[in-house]
Amino acid sequence: MEVTINLNGTPETHDVEPRLLLVHFIREKAGLRGTHWGCDTSNCGTCVVWLDGKPVKSCTVLAAMADGREVRTVEGLEQGGQLDPVQQGFMECHGLQCGFCTPGMLMTARALLDRNPDPSEPEIREAISGQLCRCTGYENIVRSVRWAAEKEATEAEEVTA
């Protein structure tokens, strides 16, 4: 079957088997390797992307279910040559080690900050609770998200001043 997905603002059309998972469409058909595939059971969260603006684990969504819809991947966070504050936060606060879980963490953190620009530590931990990181104790990940929230608040204040 033919599937067209608006992937980070660009239509991607490919012939796929009806059983193809969205994560495989993104990686194998569209050639975007930022979305990682970790478990196929929705346990790890490395494959989180946005489907019509909402975070989903792309290993549990069929590509056919995304036909005609908007999908944003970690590659879509950077805009106009500028890293998203969440990406900057992960760099500044060492929010990654091996980097495998990072794309899913970034997408989840961005979604959190979009709906709650000033989350508390418990709110951050709850938001990323569906993401497994086998390398860290989550401390630097939480710091990275707080850094991004504070950066965005500072930038917003500068704009209104």
Residue ranges of the domains in the chain? 2-76, 85-160
94-100: average pLDDT: 91
- What is the token pair recorded at 110? 């961005």
Q: Which whole number is the average pLDDT over 113-130?
A: 97
Residue range 7-43, pLDDT digits in tens: 999 999 999 999 999 999 999 999 999 999 988 788 8
Superfamily holding 85-160: [2Fe-2S]-binding domain (1.10.150.120)
d(CA 64, CA 1) in angstroms, rounded, equals 8
Express each pLDDT in 64-79 by its tens digit: 999 999 999 999 999 9
The domain 2-76 is classified under which CATH number: 3.10.20.30, 3.40.50.150, 2.50.20.10, 2.40.50.140? Answer: 3.10.20.30
Alpha carbon distance 146, 119 (integer Å): 8
pLDDT at 142 over 90: yes
> SS3 of 142, please?
helix
- The structure's pTM equals 0.94
**pLDDT attached to residue 137:** 86
- Rounded Cα distance between 35 and 40, Å, is 13
